[in-house]
């Protein structure tokens, strides 16, 4: 063992081997179950070393790549090819690439349907098994599963090949903050191509549970469950058990049909909030006519309520002020993929430590493990898409977006921490024609999939049909900030783009400044290549003073019922985070906490803020 270690050290010293590669191949990365709100205990993680090749000429099909038993390159999944953690770190544009690995379905999975899951693949993924095309999926961020039962035999190795096409600059697909130039610039950063979330397999009974919609109802003290099965059977039953620790709170058994709604009464429900993030455990058990368990899923639920009234956002029937931070979910070594599950948890802990009670998850669909930790730790989230790079005036582009967005909503709608859908960001350059129809459809489809949450159609004033009214205001002068955000009788409230008309007029919705601040604190050695909003701040006391005056300004504006500060961490050249890009401390966290918490979460003595629209 010592000789092997010394050999590796010698190779490292000579520059002949990468320490990262040695460590990455030593164990499977991101080993945790990727879908903690719908978990089965039998599954197989397919992360780790795969083979790959780039295909810039898109000739792989002609060269029989679907049948390849191995490409020349090695890549660590689930990290994208641009990232250091992938072992590749190729940062130029990748319009096409191929992945390969062998998979073996365990022999004891025989008789089950075999599902191959992908957390996310950016953008167009074609799946081949032993040379046969199994499916094609379009999406930068949506999770998907493929039933590969007919293509594999338990106990027999099969060859899995995946082709990925990614045309970021086409305008037909969402890309978020991925740079459309060779270098990162402004607020656009290193790209993500290919597999960037966990790949895994699981066996599921043909009549097993496909998904559930769990809706808390705190007013009537009940949790409402709507099950959806892969195949319905009146001979099977579903038993839903709600637990507080080891104590059974409620239990009900129904026939295993999609129409059978399960209502679980909860006598004295413990409510979920950032201040008290209590979660009930759930077990879903499908049993056949002989009493044999054919499927079992574990989950959890938070009892909480969201509604909007008289200009306020309400949490559990109490007006609640959201102190959000903009979180872009980028990592120096993993780009869009967190290096570990602990890193996801840590980001939330860092945010709470400086006084934020939630985050706007900006221009990226965060993985389910992030929502899991937000649920556990008590942290409000706004679900967003990577809508930048999408031509919102193009019919095919918006059609692509609508399909993927609804998949995202359906995946994440059971998380109690998620309190707002905000699919678009800063669509200021849009024209009325396609855009107005697109946003109207987007709002209506989101509400159809999830009527329980407000929809902020377009963050930053490109509103067409919206439940929240949000604006961006990076004004540093506190007097001017107050002037902007103070409502005046008979005058339309502040708008980022007052000359544009997207049909929507402010009509008493909860009004939030969902981007502000962005104050730069940049090391002198980095100032020539970095930026923040406004001129750089040279003295630390000046930084605290400017920040506190901006918070005081928003606090004095009674119609502003929530904010989102830009941003949690620096990201590459954008240096306006409250932490450095590597998550190390930049400021006095206790001092920041006192400043941000000058605005309490609980709003006492609320006024009727919707009276403005009547004037």
- Domain co-membership, 222 together with 196: no
What is the Cα–Cα distance from 185 to 166, expressed in whole angstroms?
20
Percent of all residues in the chain with a pLDDT value above 70, rounded to a whole number: 95
Q: For residue 7, is it within any domain?
A: no
**Is 90 exceeded by the pLDDT of residue 2?**
no
Q: Which residues make Cβ contacts (< 8 Å) with residue 243, sequence separation at least 6?
A: 249, 280, 281, 282, 283
Tell me the sheet residues that pair with 199: 118
Last residue of a domain, one of 241, 271, 301: 301
247-256 and 233-244 strand pairing = antiparallel
Helix (H) / strand (E) element for 10: namely helix 2-13
The SS3 assignment for 234 reads strand
Q: How confident is the model over 114-136, as pLDDT tens digits?
A: 999 999 999 999 999 999 999 99
Q: How confident is the model over 203-233, as pLDDT tens digits?
A: 999 999 999 999 999 999 999 999 999 999 9
Structure-token pair, residue 209 = 């549970």
Give 1's pLDDT tier (boundaries 50, 70, 90): very low
Strand boundaries in 257-369, DSSP class E? 262-265, 280-287, 293-301, 306-309, 312-315, 318-319, 322-327, 358-361
Angle at CA 45, nearest 5°, toward 43 and 48?
170
**Is 80 exceeded by the pLDDT of residue 303?**
yes
- Domain co-membership, 139 together with 237: no
Question: Which residue has 């998904």 as its token pair?
Answer: 211
Give 505's pLDDT tier (boundaries 50, 70, 90): confident
Tell me the sheet residues that pair with 323: 563
Q: How many domains does the chain have?
A: 3
Q: What is the pLDDT of residue 196?
A: 98
Residue whose C-alpha is closest to residue 601's, from 350, 381, 356, 325: 356
Q: How confident is the model over 361-402, as pLDDT tens digits?
A: 999 999 999 999 999 999 999 999 999 999 999 999 999 999
What is the Cα–Cα distance from 575 to 188, expressed in whole angstroms?
13
**Is 90 exceeded by the pLDDT of residue 72?**
yes
- Domain co-membership, 193 together with 281: no
Last residue of a domain, one of 148, 173, 202: 202
Q: For residue 102, is it within any domain?
A: yes
What is the Cα–Cα distance from 262 to 188, expressed in whole angstroms?
46
Q: How confident is the model over 18-52, as pLDDT tens digits?
A: 333 333 345 899 999 999 999 999 999 999 999 99
CATH code, domain with 101: 2.60.120.260
Q: For residue 308, is it within any domain?
A: no
- Domain co-membership, 373 together with 511: yes
Q: How confident is the model over 466-498, as pLDDT tens digits?
A: 999 999 999 999 999 999 999 998 888 998 877
Q: What number of other Cβ atoms are within 10 A of residue 242's Cβ?
A: 23
- Domain co-membership, 218 together with 167: no
- Domain co-membership, 568 together with 481: yes
Range of the domain at 378: 322-599
Q: What is the pLDDT of residue 504?
A: 82
Q: How confident is the model over 256-293, as pLDDT tens digits?
A: 999 999 999 999 999 999 999 999 999 999 999 999 99
CATH code, domain with 222: 2.60.40.10
Q: For residue 20, is it within any domain?
A: no
**Is 60 exceeded by the pLDDT of residue 16?**
no
**Is 80 exceeded by the pLDDT of residue 585?**
yes
Structure-token pair, residue 311 = 């200009």
What is the Cα–Cα distance from 269 to 218, expressed in whole angstroms?
7
- Domain co-membership, 213 together with 193: no
458-459 and 424-425 strand pairing = parallel
CATH code, domain with 350: 3.20.20.80
- Domain co-membership, 342 together with 445: yes
Around 538, how many Cα atoms within 13 Å sit in the side-chain half-sphere?
A: 0
**Is 80 exceeded by the pLDDT of residue 432?**
no
What is the Cα–Cα distance from 219 to 223, expressed in whole angstroms?
10
- Domain co-membership, 153 together with 236: no
How large is the average pLDDT for residues 346-367? 98
How large is the average pLDDT for residues 297-301? 98
Q: What is the pLDDT of residue 267?
A: 95
Mean pLDDT rounded to a whole number for the chain: 94
How large is the average pLDDT for residues 95-107? 98
What is the Cα–Cα distance from 556 to 92, expressed in whole angstroms?
47
Q: For residue 491, is it within any domain?
A: yes
- Domain co-membership, 281 together with 329: no
How large is the average pLDDT for residues 593-612? 92
Q: For residue 13, is it within any domain?
A: no
- Domain co-membership, 197 together with 264: no
- Residue 113 contacts residue 210 (beta carbons within 8 Å): no
Q: How confident is the model over 531-544, as pLDDT tens digits?
A: 999 999 999 999 99
Cis peptide before 78 (omega within 30 of 0): yes
Give 502's pLDDT tier (boundaries 50, 70, 90): low
Percent of all residues in the chain with a pLDDT value above 90, rounded to a whole number: 89
Q: How confident is the model over 73-95, as pLDDT tens digits?
A: 999 999 999 999 999 999 999 99
- Domain co-membership, 450 together with 528: yes
What is the Cα–Cα distance from 204 to 231, expressed in whole angstroms?
11
**Is 80 exceeded by the pLDDT of residue 13?**
no
What is the Cα–Cα distance from 117 to 367, expressed in whole angstroms?
13
Q: For residue 527, is it within any domain?
A: yes
Helices 395-412 & 368-377 angle (0-180, nearest 10) = 40
- Written as one string, the DSSP assignment of 511-550 is EEEEEEE------GGGGGG-B-SSSPP-SHHHHHHHHHHH
Cα–Cα distances (Å) from 608 to 47, 519, 613, in that order, read 53, 33, 11
**Is 70 exceeded by the pLDDT of residue 15?**
no
Q: For residue 30, is it within any domain?
A: no
Give 611's pLDDT tier (boundaries 50, 70, 90): confident
**Is 80 exceeded by the pLDDT of residue 451?**
yes
- Residue 141 contacts residue 194 (beta carbons within 8 Å): no
Residue whose C-alpha is closest to residue 382's, from 390, 372, 371, 392: 371
């Amino acid at each position: 063992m010592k000789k092997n270690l010394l050999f590796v050290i010698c190779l490292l010293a000579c520059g002949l081997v990468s320490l990262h590669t040695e460590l990455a191949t030593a164990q499977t990365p991101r080993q945790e179950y990727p879908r903690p709100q719908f978990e089965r205990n039998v599954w197989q993680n397919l992360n780790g070393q795969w083979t790959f090749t780039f295909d810039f000429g898109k000739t792989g099909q002609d060269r029989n790549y679907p049948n390849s038993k191995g490409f020349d390159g090695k890549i660590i999944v689930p990290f994208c090819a641009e990232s250091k953690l992938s072992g590749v770190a190729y940062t130029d544009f990748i319009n096409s690439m191929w992945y390969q690995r062998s998979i073996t379905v365990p022999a004891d999975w025989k008789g089950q349907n075999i599902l191959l899951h992908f957390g996310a693949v950016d953008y167009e993924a074609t799946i081949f098994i032993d040379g046969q095309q199994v499916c094609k999926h379009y999406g930068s961020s949506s999770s998907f599963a493929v039933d590969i039962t007919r293509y594999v035999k338990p106990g027999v190795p099969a060859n899995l090949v995946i082709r990925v096409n990614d045309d970021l600059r086409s305008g037909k697909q969402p890309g978020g903050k991925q740079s459309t130039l060779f270098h990162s610039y402004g607020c656009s950063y290193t790209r993500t191509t290919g597999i960037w979330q966990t790949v895994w397999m699981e066996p599921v009974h043909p009549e097993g549970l496909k998904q559930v919609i769990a809706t808390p109802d705190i007013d009537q003290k009940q949790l409402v469950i709507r099950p959806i099965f892969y195949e319905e059977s009146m001979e099977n039953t579903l038993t839903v058990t709600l637990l507080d620790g080891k104590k059974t709170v409620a239990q009900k058994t129904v026939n295993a049909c999609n129409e059978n709604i399960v209502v679980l009464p909860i006598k004295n429900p413990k409510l979920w909030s950032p201040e008290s993030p209590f979660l009930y455990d759930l077990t879903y058990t499908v049993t056949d006519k002989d009493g044999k368990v054919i499927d079992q899923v574990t989950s959890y639920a938070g009892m909480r309520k969201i509604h909007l009234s008289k200009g306020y956002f309400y949490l559990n029937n109490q007006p609640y002020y959201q102190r959000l931070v903009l979180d872009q979910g980028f990592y120096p070594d993993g780009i869009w993929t967190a290096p570990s599950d602990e890193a996801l948890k840590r980001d939330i802990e860092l945010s709470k430590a400086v006084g934020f009670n939630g985050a706007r998850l900006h221009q990226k669909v965060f993985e389910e493990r992030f929502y899991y930790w937000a649920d556990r730790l008590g942290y409000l989230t706004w679900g967003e898409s990577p809508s930048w790079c999408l031509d919102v005036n193009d019919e095919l582009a918006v059609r692509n977006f609508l399909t993927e967005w609804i998949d995202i909503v359906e995946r994440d709608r059971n998380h109690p921490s998620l309190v707002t859908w905000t699919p678009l960001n800063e669509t200021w350059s849009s024209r009325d024609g396609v855009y107005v129809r697109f946003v109207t459809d987007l709002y209506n489809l989101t509400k159809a999939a999830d009527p329980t949450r407000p929809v902020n159609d377009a963050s930053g004033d490109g509103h067409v049909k919206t439940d929240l009214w949000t604006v961006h205001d990076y004004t540093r002068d506190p007097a001017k900030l107050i002037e902007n955000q103070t409502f005046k009788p008979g005058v339309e409230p502040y708008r980022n783009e007052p000359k544009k008309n997207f049909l929507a007029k402010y009509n008493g919705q909860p009004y939030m400044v969902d981007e502000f601040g962005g104050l730069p604190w940049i090391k002198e050695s980095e100032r020539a290549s970095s930026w923040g909003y406004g001129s750089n701040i040279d003295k630390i006391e000046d930084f605290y003073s400017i920040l506190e005056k901006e918070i005081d300004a928003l606090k004095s504006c009674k119609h502003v019922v929530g904010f989102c500060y830009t941003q949690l961490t620096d990201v590459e050249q954008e240096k306006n985070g409250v932490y450095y890009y590597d998550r190390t401390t930049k400021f006095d966290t206790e001092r920041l906490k006192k400043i941000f918490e000058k605005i309490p979460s609980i709003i006492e003595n609320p006024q009727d803020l919707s009276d403005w629209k009547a004037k």
